[in-house]
Structure 1
Amino acid sequence: MGPDPDEQGTLEISAAIAAIQTRIHKTGLSLKESADFGLFEKTIRSTEDKYLMEDFSPRFFDLHGATAFWIGAYNSSGNIVSVQAAKVEDLKDRSLADHWQQQQRRMFVDPNPQVRFGSEHAHDAYFMRGRIVYHGNLWLRGDIRGKGLAEPLTQLGFLVSLLKWSPDYLYGLMASKAAEKGFGVRVGYRRFVPRGTHWHIAPGHIRPDDWLVYSTRSDLFGLAKLIVRTLAEDPE
């Protein structure tokens, strides 16, 4: 009898996560995972960016360990230098676009009647259903940007999500400029749609030019395999 494919997948994901952690630790950073989003808000507010996405705010959502987590990276002085968060939604009864219609209105339109939410969202969002992870609130402190850390840190969030929830899809909303420069491919997204959520009049802090970027479960397994294979070929 051959190896169980699900078990093999879990082993590969775990190996890829371990490889990423090793790479990050070699830069002198430590990592902490948490499901305490009160602490996440406090941590975000202490950064130079201070931007807490509504999707990860305990003021809007009941976020807990079964459905959400965040990861912080800290330097040798114990100061936060990077954060990211992810949460899973079970959308078997509606598409991601339908979910946006309800959720975005609650977060942005109802509190601000001057905002106008459209209905012509990313094409693929009308067909995406099932267990869907949203990954966002990614931030790196200015002094560690451009040092090759964005990729492994983001991939860590992707693979932890895959290990925890085995989602049908994992997605983000990315500025068009970053998507066009290939940042999405480097961090592990494999599918790109040049429109995210559709706004007639966007809130002041929301980019109206975001792309929907996402990966399927199979894509994420492929990412884990690629990381493990790369490690085997170049252990340094």
Structure 2
Amino acid sequence: MKTLANPLHVSRFVQVHDEAAAQKGIKISVGFDFRRYVSITEATPTKTRTYPNFRPDRSPIETGDGFWILGLDKNNDVATVQAARLYDLSSSNFAEHLESLKAFYADPTVHAHPQDRCICIAPSAKKITGKVAYHGDLWVRRDFRGQGVPRIMQGIARGVSFAMWSPDFLCGLMSRWLLDKWIVTKYGYSHYEPGGSILRLVEENIVEEEWINWLTGDELRRLVNRHDRNELLLEF
């Protein structure tokens, strides 16, 4: 049986990241209504369209199975967003979930185009099973880039994911150029592997080839349970 998340440890972990955001002039909030999230992201200039796995019209998310993070600047304009959802892969794995297109559509037979494809050749993706927290749709406005905002958002998302789900794995997909710049390590992921998703979604106009990155549940627990507040602050 897993140990329950310690609310005090989680609150401290999230608070450090929330304070780091505030120091950069960003006010953070967390929401659960993905219809509202999509309305916000669609009205946000320069942000690409949110992938269907976070859009209720293609992949509804039950209450308690997902959340999103919104960061507003001093003028209440959107500075950054990110989304997370829980996949129950107790009888499957992340590779199968991607290749079946169920990671993107609740019912691929209804919503997927006949030429939609996703190929996952990352060996470790087959080992990612159970309760899997998936993080994606991270966007930071240009004038806030290069300031560590993605790491702040990742920290908040990890704290909330751990508190809500205590997942077996936490994972995401990332373009190779982020790895080339070592951004993936700055995000705090312990593991990454090529061939996570070779994706084509015709009606979404998406053609991507991305790496998979992940943390195990134990690694996430150790990260959130860190007691040295000063050590966390030094990351920003």
- The equivalent of 2:8 in structure 1 is 11
- The equivalent of 1:184 in structure 2 is 184
Which structure 1 residue ranges, 5 or more long, are not aligned? Answer: none
> 1:8, CA displacement in angstroms?
7.5
- The equivalent of 2:169 in structure 1 is 169
For 2:42, which of 45, 54, 69 is the aligned residue?
45
Q: Larger C-alpha radius of gyration, 1 or 2?
A: 1
TM-score (norm. length: structure 2)? 0.86
For 1:59, which of 47, 57, 60 is the aligned residue?
57
Distance in 2 separating the partners of 1:215 and 1:233: 18
Q: Which has a greater percent of strand?
A: 2
SS at the partner of 1:206? strand
Deviations 1:30-60 (A, max 9, x none): 1111111111111001112141111100011
- The equivalent of 1:207 in structure 2 is 208
Deviations 1:55-108 (A, max 9, x none): 100011222331000010001111111110000011111111122222158588
Distance in 2 separating the partners of 1:90 and 1:234: 33
Which structure 2 residue ranges, 5 or more long, are not aligned? Answer: none
CA-based RMSD of the aligned residues comes to 2.6
- The equivalent of 1:231 in structure 2 is 230
- The equivalent of 2:147 in structure 1 is 147
- The equivalent of 2:70 in structure 1 is 72
TM-score (norm. length: structure 1)? 0.86
What residue identity is the alignment partner of 1:24? A
CA contact (8 A) 1:191 1:215 kept: yes
CA contact (8 A) 1:83 1:140 kept: yes
Distance in 1 separating the partners of 2:115 and 2:231: 54
Deviations 1:110-129 (A, max 9, x none): 643334443x5211111211
SS at the partner of 1:135? strand
- The equivalent of 1:22 in structure 2 is 19
CA contact (8 A) 1:188 1:220 kept: no
SS at the partner of 1:207? strand
- The equivalent of 1:157 in structure 2 is 157
